[in-house]
């Protein structure tokens, strides 16, 4: 069983796995006669394969207990998958780089601070959505269409928090 302490999420550390969605670190420009700031093109949506299309969904998830014990990671080879909390929920992220086999030494764990969302790149191995402390509601953008788009890979990981996330 690999033991990991989830580290605070940063765009740099997450770069091999996808994008961090966070208005605090993004450029914006005024629209609607200056009434609105548009934080534009924050993550790259990938929709590959036959009849591929972009889905917008809402996930309402029950919280996970810590330490978080996983026995698999999953990947979506045909598309990206983005999770954006709607009420500043914090969640745990466990990822490994795209590839046919997961190297346990390359598995990383992160925890968000409530203002961050993530967009997993197509093929990035990840734990299923794991919200902390309370029921979470997330906007999810991912790929629909024909073909198989969810592979599982056995992996035993126990994840704890080195420090409680703080906004
Ligand atoms: N199955 C599903 O839609 N969700 C998972 O892919 C997940 O990453 O939570
Ligand atoms: Ni997924």
Residue ranges and CATH numbers for the domains of the chain are 2-161 (2.60.120.480)
In the chain, the largest separation of any two C-alpha atoms, in whole Å, equals 55
What is the distance in A from the centroid of ligand 1 to the CA of 54?
A: 15
Q: Is residue 160 lining ligand 1, measured as CB closer than 6 Å?
A: no
What is the distance in A from the centroid of ligand 1 to the CA of 85?
A: 14
Q: What is the mean pLDDT of residues 10-33?
A: 98
Nearest CA owner, ligand 1 atom 5: 128
Q: What is the pLDDT of residue 162?
A: 79
Minimum-distance ligand 1 atom for the alpha carbon of 140 = 3
In contact, 138 and 40? CB cutoff 8 Å: no
121-131: pLDDT as tens digits: 999 999 999 99
User: In what helix (H) or strand (E) does residue 11 lie, and over which residues does it extend?
Assistant: helix 11-14
Q: What is the pTM of this model?
A: 0.96
Rounded to the nearest 10 degrees, how much is the dihedral formed by the CA atoms of 45, 107, 163, 86? 20
Work out the pLDDT band at 83, boundaries 50, 70, 90. Answer: very high
């Amino acid at each position: 069983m690999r033991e990991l302490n989830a580290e605070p999420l940063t765009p740099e550390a997450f770069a091999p796995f996808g994008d961090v969605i966070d208005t605090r670190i993004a450029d914006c420009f005024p629209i609607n006669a200056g009434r609105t700031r548009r934080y534009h093109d924050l993550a790259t949506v990938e929709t590959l394969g036959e009849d591929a299309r972009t889905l917008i969904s809402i996930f309402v998830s029950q919280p996970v207990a810590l330490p978080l014990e996983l026995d698999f990671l999953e990947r979506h080879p045909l598309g990206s998958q983005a999770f954006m909390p709607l009420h500043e929920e914090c969640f745990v992220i466990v990822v490994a780089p795209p590839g046919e086999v997961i190297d346990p030494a390359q598995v990383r764990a992160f925890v968000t601070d409530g203002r961050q969302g993530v967009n997993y790149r197509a093929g990035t191995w990840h734990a299923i959505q794991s919200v902390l402390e309370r029921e979470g509601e997330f906007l999810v953008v991912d790929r629909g269409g024909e073909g198989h788009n969810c592979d599982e890979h056995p992996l035993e990981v126990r994840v704890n928090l080195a420090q409680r996330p703080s906004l």
